[in-house]
Amino acid sequence: MSTAGLPNLGNLALSRKEDFKAFAEAARRDQPEVLNRTQLNALSEPARAEYDSRRRDWHANLGPIKTPQLAKVHDDLWDIVDSNQQDGDKAKGAVACVPRNSGVLESLPR
């Protein structure tokens, strides 16, 4: 349950190549195991504090939830990307038409 080997990703400036590299190469966060009330009460105070900290970190960094609407947006975007075979000097624009409240802004990298 220790997080000693994980880098601190909380204060990275992704505009710097060193920070972006650290972010891109960092291991994925592991979801803390789900404990029932009895298991939680059996934890020592330091172990409970560490468990709670890992849960807060996990929930604060969930990322986009993969809904059916998001899957459709990704399929549409892959169709656009896959059809983009022209040379770089012949750039063309692409538009994905999606319904409102479909989560498209959450699916695009920022």
What per-residue confidence (pLDDT) applies to 1?
A: 45
CA-closest candidate to residue 57, choices 101, 99, 26, 91: 26
pLDDT at 110 over 50: no
Report pLDDT digits (tens) over 41-79.
999 999 999 999 999 988 888 877 888 888 888 888 888
What per-residue confidence (pLDDT) applies to 65?
A: 80
What per-residue confidence (pLDDT) applies to 42?
A: 96
**Residues of the chain above pLDDT 70, percent:** 65
- Distance (Å) of CA 38 to CA 10, 32, 41, 43, 64: 32, 16, 5, 9, 32
Evaluated on CA atoms 79, 106, 20, 95, the torsion sign reads: positive
Within the chain, strands assigned E span none
On whether the CB atoms of residues 51 and 30 are closer than 8 A, the answer is no
**pTM listed for this prediction:** 0.50
